[in-house]
């Protein structure tokens, strides 16, 4: 996360960036550098397209493109200083980038003996508006983060499936309402986790076709004022080359200028993923409870001391990180929804809140899922003896016995098992309701536990 914005940066900045620092002196992280880089890619493509369209002198266009490349190399990271939340639809973000690129492009021309002042608006921002540059750049940044996220989620799914295969024959107690329910296997449980997450990933990936559609070329409100058709043709060709992404012009650029619903869809899908991951993390916390006073069916890795006062205590911190990430991401999701609804007429004016929220959520999700896989799922151990012990001392076999013995007979057996603290197996055998072989081969039991 970037350092908070301070006024000490002002001597490095252009006039509009200085105004932004004065107007928005907020103790917040700066705009994400990944977003800044995507804007620089848009500026690089725009300079090329404007030259091809005959709207920008070739030497200025080349200087702007070279300046953009140096931005992308990280040379000027310390000069992108505006806070992530600010008034306006992100004009200060766009102008900060314009001014940094223009200043360095001027220096490049000067070093070649050309006394040309590159203007941040007239040259770098030519044929563009904040209102088509920023949303387009945000889509590019999101597409890249989604690619990283996909890689991490696929690895997590593989980890769940490996645990499922490893413990596929381990019998355990299935629970509903946190009460004894029916026999299952550990393999069943982890296989279900894998499939849940796989479905969630599909929802996220379904957002990609929408994110690849840009309103670049729409300029102020999406009706393409001051952007020629020749420019639009070349800017997309160049941006595809520069970004390496299959982006295309939206059919209706006004729609994507006034609406940020595509980011809402991505955020909602991400929130659903973390809702499920948080549920799974809570399951693991419950199943690992103990070590002596809880369920203890699984053991999680000992990552750090769990208490400053209770010696030897170990907490499920990797799982808890998933829970807390869900709270964070779901909160950001609400911010995105409200900021998107706050659009007025032809412009999504609350864009900075959308950008900050979706980028923060995506970046956190990639990191925390990786940690969860490596420090929780990959290294957890199933305590097979404990699983069998709890199953045998539960009433879970009751459902599978009902088809043969009847609901009432099994109910009485369950009540006696609870009262006498004997296993249901023992009660059934003592009453001579079934032989041990018959008990193990009852329809349902045989299918479930073998």
Using DSSP's 3-state secondary structure scheme, residue 328 falls into: helix
Active site residue 307: yes
- DSSP for 9-56, please give it: GGGGS-HHHHHHHHH---SSBBPPHHHHHHHHHHHHHHHHHHHHTTSS
* Catalytic residue (choose from 307, 335, 365, 411): 307
Q: Which stretches of 177-314 are assigned E, i.e. beta strand?
A: 179-185, 213-214, 248-249, 298-299
Q: Which stretches of 332-395 are assigned E, i.e. beta strand?
A: 381-382
DSSP classification of residue 2: P
Residues 277 and 265 sit within 8 Å (Cβ to Cβ): no
* Residue 212: partners with Cβ closer than 8 Å, 6 or more residues away: 139, 143, 245, 246, 247, 248
* Residue 105: partners with Cβ closer than 8 Å, 6 or more residues away: 60, 63, 64, 66, 67, 118, 123, 124
DSSP3 helix / strand / coil % (the chain, rounded to 5): 65, 5, 30
Q: Which residues pair with 173 in a beta bridge?
A: 183
Of 44, 54, 57, nearest to 124 (Cα)? 44
Of 191, 57, 53, 32, nearest to 117 (Cα)? 57
Looking at the annotation, which residues are catalytic? 307
């Amino acid at each position: 996360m970037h350092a908070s914005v301070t006024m000490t940066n002002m001597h490095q900045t252009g006039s509009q960036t200085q105004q932004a620092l004065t107007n928005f002196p907020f103790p917040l992280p700066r705009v994400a550098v990944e977003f800044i880089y995507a804007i620089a890619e848009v500026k690089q493509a725009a300079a090329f397209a404007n030259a091809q369209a005959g709207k920008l002198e070739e030497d200025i266009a080349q200087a702007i493109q070279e300046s953009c490349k140096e931005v992308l190399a990280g040379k000027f990271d310390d000069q992108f200083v505006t806070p992530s939340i600010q008034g306006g639809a992100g004009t200060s973000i766009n102008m900060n980038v314009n001014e940094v690129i223009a200043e360095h492009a001027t220096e490049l021309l000067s070093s070649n003996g050309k006394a040309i002042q590159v203007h941040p608006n007239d040259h770098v921002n030519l044929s563009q508006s904040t209102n088509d540059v920023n949303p387009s750049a945000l889509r590019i940044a999101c597409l890249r983060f989604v690619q990283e996220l996909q890689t991490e989620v696929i690895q997590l799914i593989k980890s769940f499936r490996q645990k499922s295969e490893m413990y596929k024959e381990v019998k355990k107690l299935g629970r509903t309402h946190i009460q004894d329910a029916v026999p299952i296997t550990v393999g069943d449980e982890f296989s279900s986790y894998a499939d849940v997450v796989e479905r969630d990933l599909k929802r996220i990936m379904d957002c990609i076709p929408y994110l690849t559609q840009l309103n670049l070329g729409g300029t102020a409100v999406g009706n393409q004022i001051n952007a020629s058709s020749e420019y639009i043709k070349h800017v997309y060709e160049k941006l595809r080359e520069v970004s390496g992404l299959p982006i295309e012009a939206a059919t209706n650029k006004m729609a994507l200028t006034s609406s940020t619903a595509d980011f809402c869809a991505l955020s909602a899908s991400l929130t659903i993923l973390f809702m499920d991951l948080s549920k799974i993390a809570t399951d693991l916390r419950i199943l690992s409870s103990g070590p002596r006073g809880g369920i203890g069916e699984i053991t999680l890795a000992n990552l750090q001391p769990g208490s400053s006062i209770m010696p030897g205590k170990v907490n499920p911190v990797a799982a808890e990180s998933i829970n807390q990430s869900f709270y964070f991401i779901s909160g950001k999701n609400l911010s995105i929804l409200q900021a998107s609804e706050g659009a007025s007429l032809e412009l999504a004016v609350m864009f900075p809140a959308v950008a900050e929220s979706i980028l923060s959520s995506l970046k956190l999700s990639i990191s925390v899922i990786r940690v969860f896989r490596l420090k929780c799922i990959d290294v957890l151990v199933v305590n097979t003896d404990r699983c069998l012990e709890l199953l045998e001392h539960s009433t879970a076999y009751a459902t599978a016995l009902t088809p043969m013995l009847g609901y009432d007979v099994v109910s009485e057996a369950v009540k006696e098992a609870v009262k006498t603290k004997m296993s249901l197996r023992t009660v059934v055998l003592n009453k001579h309701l079934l032989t041990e072989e018959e008990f193990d081969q009852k329809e349902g039991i045989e299918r479930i536990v073998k």
